[in-house]
């Protein structure tokens, strides 16, 4: 869906109210903030509900939209509170919510159906099929993955039903958003819950910062972005200073208004605001093997700290007023301006015994707007005042306060279960697949060569065995399912469809799906879909959404504890090295050479080793150093179906794992292991 306006919206971040003022002064069309609850920047200052109401007033008075992020994964114990919080956000007048959890999306479509929802980049939307399913689920706008090229951005925007939003400037995650478990599995701080400890910014392999990406800047591609049809251009930075927000927003405001790309001097100003040794546009241009890594140097910090600090005092909005004070009638005050008009009534004036009201005195008192965002000059007050009347100063003050408060109140009445407007996305659940829910044990084998060498006794332990999609024909004797690549760009859809059709012809029955776009691909091929852990299911409502779409079952997020997983139901990872990251760039090629493909390791400062393997089309998977193992604690996974992940194990070791589960024995391999939902390793 191409945007309706000539220019895309410029969307700026704000971590506190001063940053919000900076964004508005810088020329943002919309600002996004986080609340104290359920935000993916848990360590930003963020806004409580009263501050959010104040932010709504300030933004709307200046003709700027305000969005709130609720873009984390939610547990069952949090969903009710999240819905209540979202209803309050709707009531105070927020323009849209940025969301990542389909369970929350489903609940909100029932509770406040006309509340606009935007699918966060955490939903991992990288093609038009994924964007369409997000739209059909209830999101009118989709934030596309940062890794899309400019050509793919345009194609997705032209084909999909939803508006599209893309990141314009700011920090880049090395892992596809919504697919990173590194901070969670290693440090206990979940990036999917807004607590990322940024392990990608640390040195690996003898002090090299191979995972730390430079910040994004698309300042040199503004004309392409305008022409692409995207609805919104987003600046990252809710942890940044007001000066950063103002500088970056104001530069992009000018570039958009003047329909041009940046100059060298404007690029230098952006670097002085904040950079990690410069910027990158590698994903946008498709040159992902050019220099994209960077760290924040002391020189970068010195340059930023030397910049002048701005004044971000809130600007008042000038309004006008009509006031009526007549004997025997309620006093009235109408405030108007910026295409808005409100009227309030106050006390009835009485006959004056002495010192009647005067025009000058009443206007002077009414003009004192005090602690508001409004400015009312005495010359802008039309006053109808009967002679010889009086009204207590407290009554005049209350009339003014009531009028100002009503003018600044952009809240809405809760609609309950009212019908959503015609231009709002409605739930459009596709017809269910013919599904099989009887798969008790499933396994994915990332190494097709190893899978081919496994004994039938091992294979027979599993109801469904998934092999990499591109390797399926040669594994068809061992596997009855295919693992669809979690990342598929728009220009890769045709090739992936061919691979899926080939697998179906070779006898594949099942598909392990880990992305919104996989649903339609699986439906076309007639395969039975099983949801991978990459769908980030952490609550019963999300599980119900996926089952309603037609998935036979879903592997739950490995971030859940065993107790939480049992409460949700479904399938759990009970064995294997969990993938921590999927990267768009091939770090194995860049740092080790193609001859080392599949034999590389990421080694941290403590000497801990994280295996790396190739994913579809030269993407990389980085796996946990420790295995997950529940063979001797199967009672903790009671009621759940089992999912196994095999990566670097030999056929013999795979046999040991299966025997250990059959006999409920202790971990049989060398190396460390962890339990479901636990960071600690044994």
Contact predicate 621/579, CB 8 Å? yes
State the average pLDDT over residues 607-615.
Answer: 95
- Structure token pair of residue 166: 């893309």
Could you please report the per-residue DSSP string of 618-662?
Answer: GEEEEE-SSEEE-TT-GGGGTTPEEEEEESS--HHHHHHHHHHHH
The structure tokens listed for 458 are 């091992």
Nearest CA to 597 among 609, 612, 581, 577? 612
pLDDT band at 2 (very low <50, low <70, confident <90, very high): confident
To which H or E segment does residue 572 belong? strand 571-576
Res 437: pLDDT: 58
**pLDDT tens for residues 220-247?**
999 999 999 999 999 999 999 999 999 9
What pLDDT score was predicted for residue 303? 80
pLDDT of residue 288: 81
pLDDT at 430: 47
| pLDDT greater than 50 at residue 582 | yes
Q: What is the pLDDT of residue 413?
A: 83
What residue ranges define each of the domains in the chain, with the CATH number in brackets?
A: 9-172+215-261 (3.20.20.70), 317-408 (no CATH), 441-577+627-667 (3.20.20.70)
Q: Which tokens go with 353?
A: 């015994």
CA distance between the termini of the chain: 51
The conformation of residue 335, written as its DSSP 8-state character, comes to E
- How far apart are alpha carbons 445 and 453 in whole angstroms? 12
Alpha helix ranges (H) inside 382-517: 393-408, 448-452, 456-459, 472-475, 493-505
User: pLDDT tens digit string along 3-41?
Assistant: 878 999 999 999 999 999 999 999 999 999 999 878 756
Residues 54-105: pLDDT tens digits? 999 999 999 999 999 999 999 999 999 999 999 999 999 999 999 999 999 9
Neighbours of 679 (CB within 10 A): 13
* Cα(583)–Cα(40) distance, integer angstroms: 20
Sign of CA dihedral 258, 259, 261, 267: positive
Comparing C-alpha atoms, which of 2, 318, 360, 344 is closest to residue 160?
2
DSSP state of 355: S
Residues forming a β-bridge with 442? 464, 643
Residues paired with residue 216 on neighbouring β-strands, in sequence order? 170, 280
How many Å apart are CA 385 and CA 372, to the nearest integer? 26
Which pLDDT band holds residue 307 (cuts at 50, 70, 90)? low
pLDDT digit string (tens) for 128-148? 999 999 999 999 999 999 999
pLDDT surpassing 80 at residue 436: no
Segment 416-439 mean pLDDT:
50
Write 143-148 long-range contacts (CB < 8 A, 24+). Answer: 143/98, 143/118, 143/119, 143/167, 143/234, 145/121, 145/176, 145/177, 145/487, 146/121, 146/172, 146/173, 146/177, 146/216, 146/283, 147/176, 147/283, 147/487, 147/489, 147/584, 148/283, 148/284, 148/489, 148/490
Q: What is the DSSP string of 510-551?
A: EEEE-STTHHHHHHHHTPEEEE-GGG---SHHHHHHHHHHT-
d(CA 344, CA 322): 11
Looking at residue 677, its pLDDT comes to: 87
- Yes or no: say if 97 and 450 are a contact pair by the CB < 8 Å rule: no
Q: What is the mean pLDDT of residues 162-171?
A: 97
Q: Would you state the structure tokens that stand for residue 658, as one six-digit string?
A: 């299966």
What integer pLDDT is reported at residue 426 of this predicted model? 45
Pairing of strands 571-576, 627-629: antiparallel
Residues across the chain: 682
> pLDDT digits over 311-356, tens only?
899 999 999 999 999 999 999 999 999 999 999 999 999 999 889 9
Residue 160's nearest CA partner among 71, 67, 230 is 230
pLDDT band, very low/low/confident/very high, at 415 (cuts 50, 70, 90): low
Q: Note the pLDDT of residue 378.
A: 97
- Comparing CA positions, the residue from 549, 554, 550 lying closest to residue 534 is 554
pLDDT reading at 681 higher than 80: no
**Which helix (H) or strand (E) segment is 613 a member of?**
strand 609-615
| CA proximity to 131, closest of 90, 172, 82, 164 | 164
φ, ψ for residue 87, nearest 5 deg: -65, -35
Nearest to 121, CA basis, from 210, 212, 191: 191
Pairwise CA distance, residues 376 & 369, whole Å = 7
Q: Which secondary-structure segment (H or E) carries 317? A: strand 317-318
In order, the DSSP letters of 22-36 are HHHHHT-SEEEEEBS
What is the rounded average pLDDT of the residues 276-290? 89
Q: Using the predicted structure, report yes or no on whether residue 419 has a pLDDT greater than 50.
A: no
Q: Tell me the chain's radius of gyration from C-alpha atoms.
A: 29
CA angle, 600 then 602 then 603, to 5°:
120
| Of 385 and 298, the one with more pLDDT | 385
In contact, 131 and 229? CB cutoff 8 Å: no
């Amino acid at each position: 869906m191409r945007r309706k306006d000539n220019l895309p919206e410029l969307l700026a971040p704000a971590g506190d109210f001063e940053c919000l003022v900076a964004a508005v002064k810088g020329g943002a069309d919309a600002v996004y903030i986080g609340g104290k609850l359920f935000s993916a920047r848990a360590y930003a200052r963020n806004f409580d509900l009263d501050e959010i109401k104040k932010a709504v007033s300030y933004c709307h008075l200046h003709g700027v939209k305000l969005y709130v992020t609720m873009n984390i994964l939610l547990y069952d114990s949090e969903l009710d509170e999240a819905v209540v919080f979202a209803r309050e956000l709707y009531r105070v007048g927020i323009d849209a919510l940025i969301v990542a959890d389909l369970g929350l999306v489903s609940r909100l479509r029932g509770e406040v159906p006309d509340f606009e929802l935007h699918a966060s980049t955490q939903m991992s939307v990288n093609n038009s099929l994924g964007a369409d399913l997000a739209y059909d689920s209830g999101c009118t706008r989709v934030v596309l993955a940062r890794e899309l090229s400019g050509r793919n951005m345009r194609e997705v925007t032209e084909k999909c039903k939803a508006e599209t939003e893309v990141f314009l400037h700011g920090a880049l995650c090395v892992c596809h958003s919504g697919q990173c478990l590194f901070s969670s599995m290693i440090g206990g701080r979940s990036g999917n819950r807004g607590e990322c400890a940024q392990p990608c910014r640390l040195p690996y392999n003898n002090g090299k910062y191979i995972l730390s990406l430079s910040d994004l800047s698309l300042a040199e591609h503004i004309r392409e972005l305008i022409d692409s049809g995207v609805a919104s251009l987003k600046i990252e930075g809710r942890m940044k200073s007001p000066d950063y927000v103002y500088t970056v927003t104001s530069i992009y405001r000018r570039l958009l208004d003047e329909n041009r790309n940046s100059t060298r001097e404007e690029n230098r100003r952006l670097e002085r605001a904040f950079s990690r040794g410069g910027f990158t546009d590698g994903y946008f241009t498709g040159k992902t093997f050019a220099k994209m890594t960077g760290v924040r140097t002391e020189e970068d910090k010195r340059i930023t700290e030397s910049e002048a600090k701005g004044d971000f005092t809130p600007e008042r909005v000038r309004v006008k007023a009509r006031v009526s004070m007549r004997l025997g009638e309620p006093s009235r005050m109408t405030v108007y301006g910026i295409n808005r008009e409100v009227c309030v009534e106050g006390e009835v004036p009485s006959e004056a015994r002495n010192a009647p009201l005067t025009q000058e005195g009443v206007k002077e008192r009414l003009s004192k707007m005090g602690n508001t965002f409004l400015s009312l000059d005495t010359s802008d007050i039309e006053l109808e005042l009967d002679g010889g009347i009086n009204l207590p100063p407290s009554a005049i003050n209350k009339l003014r306060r009531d009028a100002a408060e009503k003018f600044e109140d952009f809240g809405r009445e809760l609609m309950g279960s009212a019908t959503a407007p015609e231009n709002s996305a409605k739930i459009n659940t596709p017809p269910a697949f013919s599904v099989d829910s009887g798969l008790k044990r499933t396994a994915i084998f990332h190494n097709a060569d190893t899978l081919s060498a496994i004994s039938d006794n091992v294979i027979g332990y599993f109801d469904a065995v998934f092999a990499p999609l591109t390797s399926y024909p040669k594994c068809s004797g061992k596997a009855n399912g295919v693992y669809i690549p979690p990342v598929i760009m728009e220009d890769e859809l045709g090739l992936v469809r061919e691979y899926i059709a080939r697998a179906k012809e070779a006898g594949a029955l099942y598909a392990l799906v880990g992305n919104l776009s996989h649903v339609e691909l699986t439906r076309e091929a007639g395969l039975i879909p099983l949801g991978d852990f990459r769908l980030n299911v952490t609550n019963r409502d999300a599980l119900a959404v996926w089952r309603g779409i037609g998935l036979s079952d879903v592997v739950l997020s490995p971030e859940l504890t065993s107790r939480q997983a049992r409460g949700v139901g479904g399938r759990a990872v009970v064995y294997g090295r969990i993938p921590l990251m999927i990267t768009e760039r091939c770090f194995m090629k860049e740092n080790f050479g193609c001859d080392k493909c599949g034999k590389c390791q990421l080694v941290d400062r403590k000497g801990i080793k994280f295996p790396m393997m190739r994913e579809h089309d030269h993407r990389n998977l980085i796996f946990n150093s420790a295995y997950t193992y529940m063979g001797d604690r199967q009672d903790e996974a009671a009621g759940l179906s089992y999912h196994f992940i095999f990566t670097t194990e030999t056929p013999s070791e795979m046999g040991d794992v299966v025997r250990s589960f059959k006999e409920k024995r202790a971990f049989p391999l060398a190396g460390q292991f962890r339990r479901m939902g636990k960071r600690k390793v044994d």
